[in-house]
């Protein structure tokens, strides 16, 4: 049997701290008796550690073994995170080796160093009881060493003999034992670094546990796992952490990031080449075209147990050319795919889909505080404004990070000014990420998205479908596309869009003509509508209004606004492309409405009939 304690319970791993990290100069201190193992096991193990990038101290100099252990060597032990002690049959005959071991055990007990013993064709019980060659060695030591020193050596051997480790026997190849040791060290190094890697990640542990259960690492089948969610939700971060955590369980690994961007810019051949190169460690691989890449991936990886992450996938052909079928990969392989489009995952036939949701309020507050205040709690002076930010971000990690970092170090006065500016001019770092999904929509789906963002968020699905159908937008397929792409959700018959997505949609409309609201496709803000309808009041031609682009308008007024409304009564007539008009309030009925109007929804309409001047030939829905 090889390593005894190959469990992955993080509670058994050494704790990490910034002070300890600063003290470590080596990952591993390798202790061995040169005459026994220098040119075989110890040499092979050292080379394997070196190739894996594990910084290892190997005491392999031609030193005078008759002299006391050097201060430099003691310092190297103290500056190592782990010690691998290769105990061969004549290990105890070397006073130098026993001094090393005694100091290693001291560091284990005093500073928490992790020690992995390798029982090199010796019985651990012989080490504990100091029998056989170990007994003979101590008989000789007692003849010329002082009793206190010998007893210190005996105690160190007893302690190391009681540790779980790797027991080499003649029942398997040494290369297998070396692979087990490599895996053990690599895994413990990864877990040792977890507090640093995840120190700024809030709510990550529960997500890690859930996703790891989807991976079913104990199963030997090939599994495709999708991670799905809207932009800025933390899909890539989650995939990276889990990739880092479980990668040691696989023969080889590859993390292909930004698949959408890189495939659009450079094509798929480069990604195929990177995938194979990462797995096979080949740098001179040549792929002629993507079809050649498919053949090479299938033919060269189907026997290997691999971990592959394809990050930010947005099209089916990306999966078809990078990870087309389960049988492209060896038994036990896991392929993780992050995407904003669940339809891509379903069409490709993934085994599980993990939906990433926004942070709970407690976690959102913790993340925001870590960025805005560099502490766990909100100062009293900032409490009310912090709640405004949390409401605005609505659990989106990206927004919490960006806004928290932007507000860090600013006074309460500047906070108030900054919050007002953010509401009027949202941070580009957030909207640029969110808008990627919008930009990938078809034109009709963009129209549906903007209608919902401007007018229908949090309304009943059946009503929205009726309206959009009346506008000729084929809503059934369009709404499903928005849901699949994480731009829309449905709860209990209500269509719901994240507040920041709603704000992004409205911002897209504002940018159609930033300085003239009358030239935008949609209007919903009363002040914008009033300014447009009052502009050039009395103008006979009305051409200067520039309102031909307007497609939809929602006018909701208060009592004071109704009293003060002084609109050009003929303004609506020139809205030639207006298809949707919704009023809420006791407003004076306009003299004309555009002939192409399809939906007129007027809550609190007072008259018993429509004016005879209305020629609504295209009207489909009338709600009074």
Would you name the residues annotated as active-site residues?
Answer: 100
Task: Report residue 608: phi and psi, to 5°.
Answer: -90, -15
| 88 vs 86: CA distance, rounded Å | 6
CA distances from 614 to 230, 327, 592, 617 (A): 44, 66, 6, 9
Task: Report residue 336: phi and psi, to 5°.
Answer: -105, 130
CA-based nearest residue to 80, from 100, 60, 63: 100
Which tokens belong to 152? 């210190």
Q: Containing H/E element for 459?
A: strand 459-460
CA distances from 528 to 52, 275, 582 (A): 63, 53, 15
CA-based nearest residue to 554, from 470, 403, 452: 452
Task: Report residue 93: phi and psi, to 5°.
Answer: -75, -15
CA-based nearest residue to 374, from 200, 195, 194, 198: 200
Q: Is 227 helix (H, G, I), strand (E, B) or coil?
A: strand
Would you say 143 and 128 are in contact if contact means Cβ atoms under 8 Å apart? no
CA-based nearest residue to 572, from 614, 608, 601, 513: 614
Token pair 């993780």 in the structure block, residue: 336
CA-based nearest residue to 338, from 230, 250, 252, 254: 230
Q: Edge-to-edge strands of the sheet including 552-556?
A: 522-523, 552-556, 580-584, 599-603, 621-623
Q: Containing H/E element for 50?
A: helix 41-51
Q: Is the dihedral of CA 520, 523, 528, 533 positive or negative?
A: positive
Would you say 441 and 485 are in contact if contact means Cβ atoms under 8 Å apart? yes
**What is the signed CA dihedral for 195, 199, 202, 205, rounded to 10 degrees?**
-10
Cα-based angle 289, 295, 300 (whole degrees, multiple of 5): 125
| 260 vs 249: CA distance, rounded Å | 28
**Paired strand residues for 114:** 82
Strand locations in 431-551, DSSP E?
A: 459-460, 489-491, 494-496, 522-523
Q: Containing H/E element for 319?
A: helix 316-322
Token pair 């904003």 in the structure block, residue: 340
> What's 576-623 look like in SS3?
CCCCEEEEECCCCCCCCCCCCCCEEEEECCCCCCCCCCCCCCCCCEEE
Diameter of the chain measured on Cα atoms: 123
| 344 vs 50: CA distance, rounded Å | 41
Q: Edge-to-edge strands of the sheet including 166-168?
A: 56-58, 26-31, 80-87, 114-120, 166-168
CA-based nearest residue to 430, from 388, 402, 392: 402
Q: Is 306 helix (H, G, I), strand (E, B) or coil?
A: strand
| 350 vs 327: CA distance, rounded Å | 13
């Amino acid at each position: 049997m090889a390593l005894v304690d190959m469990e992955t319970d993080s509670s058994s791993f050494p704790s990490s701290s910034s002070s300890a990290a600063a003290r470590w100069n080596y990952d591993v201190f390798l202790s061995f008796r040169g005459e026994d193992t220098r040119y075989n096991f110890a040499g092979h193990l050292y080379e394997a550690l070196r190739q894996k990038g594990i910084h290892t101290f190997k005491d392999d100099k031609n030193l005078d073994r008759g002299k006391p252990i050097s201060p430099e060597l003691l310092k190297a032990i103290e500056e190592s995170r782990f010690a691998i002690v290769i105990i061969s049959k004549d290990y105890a005959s070397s006073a130098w080796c026993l001094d090393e071991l005694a100091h290693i055990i001291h560091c284990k007990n005093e500073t928490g160093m992790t020690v992995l013993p390798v029982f090199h064709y010796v019985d651990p019980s012989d080490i504990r009881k100091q029998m056989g060659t170990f007994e003979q060695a101590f008989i000789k030591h007692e003849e010329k060493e002082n009793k206190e020193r010998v007893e210190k050596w005996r105690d160190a051997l007893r302690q190391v003999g009681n540790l779980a480790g790797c027991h080499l026997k003649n029942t398997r190849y040494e290369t297998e034992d070396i692979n087990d040791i490599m895996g053990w060290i690599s895994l413990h190094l990864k877990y040792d670094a977890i507090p640093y890697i995840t120190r700024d990640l809030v709510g990550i542990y529960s997500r890690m546990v859930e996703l790891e259960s989807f991976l079913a690492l104990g199963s030997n089948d090939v599994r495709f796992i999708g991670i799905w969610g809207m932009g800025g939700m933390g899909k890539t971060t989650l995939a990276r952490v889990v990739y880092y955590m479980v990668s040691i369980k696989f023969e080889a690994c590859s993390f292909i990031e930004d698949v959408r961007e890189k495939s659009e810019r450079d094509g798929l051949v480069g990604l195929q080449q990177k995938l194979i190169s990462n797995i096979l460690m080949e740098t001179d691989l040549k792929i002629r075209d993507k079809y050649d890449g498919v053949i090479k991936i299938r033919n060269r990886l189907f026997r290997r147990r691999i971990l592959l992450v394809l990050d930010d996938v947005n099209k089916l052909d990306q999966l078809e050319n990078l990870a087309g079928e389960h049988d492209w990969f060896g038994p036990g392989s896991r392929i993780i795919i992050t995407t904003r489009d669940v339809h891509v995952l379903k069409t490709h036939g993934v085994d599980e889909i993990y939906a990433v949701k926004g942070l709970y309020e407690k976690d959102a507050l913790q993340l925001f505080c870590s960025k805005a205040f560099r502490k766990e709690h909100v100062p009293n002076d900032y409490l009310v404004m912090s709640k405004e930010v949390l409401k605005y971000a609505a659990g989106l990690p990206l927004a919490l990070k960006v806004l928290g970092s932007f507000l860090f170090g600013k006074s309460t006065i500047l906070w108030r000014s900054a919050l007002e500016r953010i509401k009027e001019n949202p941070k580009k770092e957030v909207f640029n990420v969110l808008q990627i999904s919008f930009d990938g929509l078809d034109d009709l789906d963009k129209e549906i998205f903007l209608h919902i963002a401007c007018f229908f968020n949090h309304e009943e699905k059946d009503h929205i479908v009726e309206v959009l159908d009346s506008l000729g937008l084929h809503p059934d397929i369009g709404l499903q596309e928005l849901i699949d792409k994480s731009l829309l959700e449905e709860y209990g018959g209500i269509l719901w869009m994240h507040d920041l997505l709603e704000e992004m949609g409205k911002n897209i409309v504002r940018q159609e003509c930033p300085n003239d609201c009358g030239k935008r496709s949609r209007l919903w803000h009363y002040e914008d509508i009033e300014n447009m309808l009052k502009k050039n009041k009395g103008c006979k031609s009305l051409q200067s209004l520039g309102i031909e682009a307007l497609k939809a308008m929602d006018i909701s007024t208060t009592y004071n606004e109704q009293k003060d409304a002084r609109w050009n009564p003929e303004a609506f007539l020139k809205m030639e492309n207006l298809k949707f008009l919704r009023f809420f309030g006791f407003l004076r009925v306009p003299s004309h409405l555009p002939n192409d109007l399809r939906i007129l929804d007027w809550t609190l309409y007072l008259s018993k009939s429509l004016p005879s001047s209305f020629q609504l030939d295209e009207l489909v829905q009338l709600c009074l």
